[in-house]
Amino acid sequence: MHSFEELALGFKKRFDTKHFPEQPETLYASCDYFLSLGGKRIRPVMCLMGNELFGEINPDIYHVATAIELFHNFTLIHDDIMDAASLRRGMQTVHAKYGINTALLGGDVMLVTAYEYLNRININYLQRVLTLFNKTAKEVCEGQQLDIDFETKENVSLDEYIHMIVLKTSVALAASLKVGAILGGASEGNRKHLYEFGKNLGIAFQIQDDYLDAFGDPKKFGKDVGGDIRRNKKTFLLIYALEAADELQKKELLQLMADNPSDKVERVMAIFKACNVDEWATSLKQQFLDKALQHLEDTAVVSVRKKPLIALADFLIQREH
């Protein structure tokens, strides 16, 4: 068994290569630039971990993991355009550096390249992998659209938000683990438990992400803190604050969202703190982490093989960036 860090290092050596041709340079330079920004590579490494949980690493898993990472980067490029974000991982976003049109095409060609990597795997796995990959890709797009819809929807319940997060974030983590399990020869029952582990971990991961956007250190987070507040994004934090606030606080929150004053972030944060949003988010995150770990516990594999995934879960919900 290998740790997340060991698998990440091995994947990095394989992934940090040329995925695109030289020409047209105006297109492919944007792809190379974005991939050069690095990242935690969580999803592809989870794919490797899902494989190794059940046996030796299948060589084909590296093609799948590469496809997953390229797909993830495709979504990030497009997300940054939709969010009008200027920074990603502390550097200029692709559309800020190369323009929106090139960024759109760069994301598109990254997605096509992901499918080229999937097409390299053993035919015995291809249909199951493609079915799961396509289902997940559609769900991620659905989740992103719901996220956009929620920005202009007046009332969003916690259940609605969690459903959106499952689609936008959790299914990608869950599918990464499950496709690794498929190539590792896991039983259907074990694949389901591993998927549920990833899904619930993904929700906890997003709670931490929402938390960091408001309460994180910008030097560690790598993005503008308060970005969700500026865009009136319905996050775990805002949804709870609107429920927990008294009448005056709720009125002020809604007014701030409507007027977008220059001191909006500071004033919203003051209401968040008054409503103990940070403590509530920490508690909710733990609830979903516990659900995830129970599914991992129920996976029929000797406990020692689960230790790297338990360590990863702890890292993801305690991270500061």
Q: What is the CATH number of the domain that holds 278?
A: 1.10.600.10
Highest mean pLDDT, choosing among 84-93, 98-107, 310-319: 98-107
Say how many CA atoms lie within 13 Å of 54 toward its Cβ. Answer: 26
Instruction: Kindly report, residue by residue over 67-102, the tens digit of the pLDDT.
Output: 999 999 999 999 999 988 898 888 999 999 999 999
Q: What is the arithmetic mean of pLDDT over 57-61?
A: 96
Whether residue 227 has pLDDT greater than 90: no
Q: What is the mean pLDDT of residues 306-319?
A: 90
Q: Which domain holds residue 214?
A: 4-318
The values of phi and psi at residue 92, to 5°, are -60, 140
Give, to the nearest 10 degrees, the angle between helix 61-83 and helix 42-52.
Answer: 150
Backbone angles phi, psi at 87, to 5 degrees: -125, 145
Domain count, the chain: 1
Identify the burial level of 42 via C-beta atoms within 10 angstroms of its C-beta, where 0-12 means exposed, 13-18 middle and 19 or more buried: buried
- Identify the pLDDT of residue 202: 95
Residue 78 · residue 88 · CB < 8 Å: no
Res 85: pLDDT = 87
Supply 184's token pair. Answer: 């590792």
pLDDT, one tens digit per residue, over 175-215 is 999 999 999 999 999 999 999 999 999 999 999 999 999 99
Band the pLDDT of 303: cuts 50, 70, 90. Answer: very high
Q: What is the pLDDT of residue 237?
A: 96
Q: Tell me what the mean pLDDT of segment 13-40 comes to.
A: 95
* Two structure tokens written together for 189: 């029952």
Report whether pLDDT(321) > 60.
no
What is the H or E stretch that residue 217 is in?
none
Whether the predicted pLDDT of 224 surpasses 70: no
Query: Which carries the bigger pLDDT value, residue 194 or residue 320?
Result: 194
For position 320, what pLDDT does the model report?
Answer: 63
What is the C-alpha to C-alpha distance for residues 49 and 39, in angstroms, rounded to an integer? 18
Residue 219: the pLDDT is 65
Q: Is the pLDDT of residue 218 over 70?
A: no
